[in-house]
């Protein structure tokens, strides 16, 4: 493997309207890095690379971290990862408010006006003033400083929220949405947290992942199996999730969603075949239900069919599918309520892929656990691990991790 020398790149003053390639970011948390060198601030990637989602100019899977071409320096604000299965793409938000993307682009998810994949980063066309990004299965979202949201990529299920089901190779405006505080993207649906603590969703509702179906009047009433809107009628504009008014954080899995409330508890809704809602059942819920045995939560992440919570004491709890050890409790036993992760303390940030997870510790170490069939744990093997293994050594400057909720690669900076 040819080693690349990290370097700082000059940034454009605004987002260029040129047709260029792009990249995506998911579930990332940034920490102070004022003393970091350019080497420490490289964006690194590992795991599945069939679509060039690792951004190293190749389509070769990597079992250990490599550098994303040109992505280094303090100009990088955050990162996000999207994709489904072997297909993946990535995004990075720069300090000047522009976005770069790379990887799979069959639905226009790189936002560069083409449908050509790119194994190296390029600008998302016509975007500026961005303060947050999110990546779904094959679509992407950008939250602008004015509180509005732009979207691009696949729109078969209405996940772009522009009132149509037409794919967009360039960013379009999500209709009727302003005063947005945070965004998240599932496989084929999208979610926004508004500044007033309410949540809106749009896109596919096959598994009740929009959370908009009215809750039964009595707890003994059967759970609805016909959702509103139904699977045959995607929601193409944003609709409020009922009974949520004190939300301060959101996360999306492939087909389920999580909301962190002001009292540090969590609500969940959507697909629940593996217990990923944490309500001690495997019954899909098209409306929010409490995640049991969970309190003092500060952040959330979710994979294809599992969920992770970061607590105030810097430990983690997980629940849902555990066939690859992704819950992290040292077993392969499915969990319908949350259980503590084994042997991991001092956690500052967490991100979840389809069946694996990443955590940044206070000393800058990156740990990973779960599925490793594509090398997404980054420890030089293809062996899955039900307990955390070290990916990147102590740095003190590593501060951000990202993984696609339905994909098999990892990003860190």
CB atoms near residue 116 (< 10 Å)? 12
Predicted confidence band at 32 (pLDDT cuts at 50, 70, 90)?
very low
83 closest CA partner among 113, 112, 65, 110: 110
Which whole-number Å values give the CA distances from 363 to 52, 97, 343, in the listed order? 30, 29, 15
Cβ-contact 117, 106 below 8 angstroms: yes
The domain limits of the chain are: 44-412
User: What's the mean pLDDT in 354-376?
Assistant: 96
Which whole-number Å values give the CA distances from 254 to 207, 304, 360, in the listed order? 10, 5, 22
Pairing state between β 76-85 and 406-407: parallel
Share of the chain above pLDDT 70, in %: 90
Residues 350 and 346: their CA atoms lie apart, in Å, by 11
pLDDT digits (tens, 9 = 90+) for 316-335: 999 999 999 999 999 999 99
Thinking of the domain 44-412, which architecture would CATH place it in?
7 Propeller (2.130)
Residues 266 and 258: their CA atoms lie apart, in Å, by 7
pLDDT digits (tens, 9 = 90+) for 198-252: 999 999 999 999 999 999 888 889 998 888 777 778 899 999 999 899 999 999 9
Cβ-contact 32, 399 below 8 angstroms: yes
Torsion of CA 273, 262, 216, 185, to 10 degrees: -50
Share of the chain above pLDDT 90, in %: 80
Residue with tokens 């080497």: 39
**Which are the contacts of 228, defined by CB distance < 8 A and separation ≥ 6?**
205, 212, 213, 214, 286
Q: Which residues of 314-328 are buried (b: 16+ CB within 10 A; e: fewer)?
A: eebbbbbbbbbbbbb
């Amino acid at each position: 493997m040819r080693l690349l020398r990290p370097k700082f790149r000059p940034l454009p003053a605004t987002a260029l309207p040129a047709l260029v390639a792009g990249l995506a970011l998911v579930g990332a948390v940034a920490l102070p890095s004022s003393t970091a060198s350019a080497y420490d601030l490289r964006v690194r990637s590992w795991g599945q690379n069939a679509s060039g989602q690792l951004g190293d100019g190749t389509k070769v899977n990597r079992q250990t971290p490599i550098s994303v071409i040109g992505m280094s320096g303090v100009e990088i604000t955050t990162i996000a990862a999207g994709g489904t299965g072997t297909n993946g793409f990535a995004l990075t938000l720069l300090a000047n408010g522009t976005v770069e993307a790379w990887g799979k682009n069959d639905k226009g998810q790189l936002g560069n006006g083409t449908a050509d994949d790119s194994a190296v980063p390029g600008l998302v066309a016509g975007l500026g003033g961005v303060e947050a990004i999110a990546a779904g299965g094959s679509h992407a979202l950008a939250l602008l400083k004015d509180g509005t949201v732009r979207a691009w990529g696949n729109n078969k299920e209405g996940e772009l929220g522009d009132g149509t089901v037409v794919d967009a190779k360039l960013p379009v405006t999500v209709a009727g949405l302003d005063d947005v505080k945070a965004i998240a993207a599932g496989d084929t649906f999208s979610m926004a947290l508004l500044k007033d603590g309410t949540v809106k969703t749009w896109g596919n509702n096959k598994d009740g992942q929009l959370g908009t179906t009215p809750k039964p009047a009595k707890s003994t009433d059967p759970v609805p199996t016909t959702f509103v809107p139904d699977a045959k009628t995607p929601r193409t504009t944003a609709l409020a999730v009922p009974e949520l008014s004190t939300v301060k954080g959101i996360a999306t899995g492939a087909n389920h969603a999580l909301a962190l409330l002001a009292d540090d508890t969590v609500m969940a809704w959507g697909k629940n075949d593996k217990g990923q809602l944490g309500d001690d059942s495997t019954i899909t819920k098209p409306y929010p239900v409490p995640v049991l045995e969970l309190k003092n939560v500060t952040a959330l992440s979710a994979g294809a069919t599992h969920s992770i919570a970061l607590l105030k004491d810097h430990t983690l709890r997980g629940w849902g599918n555990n066939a690859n050890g992704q819950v992290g409790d040292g077993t392969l036993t499915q969990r319908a309520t949350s259980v503590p992760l084994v042997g991991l303390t001092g956690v500052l940030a967490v991100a979840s892929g389809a069946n694996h997870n990443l955590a940044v510790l206070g000393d800058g170490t990156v740990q990973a656990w779960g599925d490793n069939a594509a090398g997404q744990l980054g420890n030089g093997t293809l062996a899955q691990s039900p307990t955390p293994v070290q990916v990147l050594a102590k740095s003190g400057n590593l501060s951000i991790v990202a993984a696609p909720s339905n994909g098999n690669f990892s990003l860190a900076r």
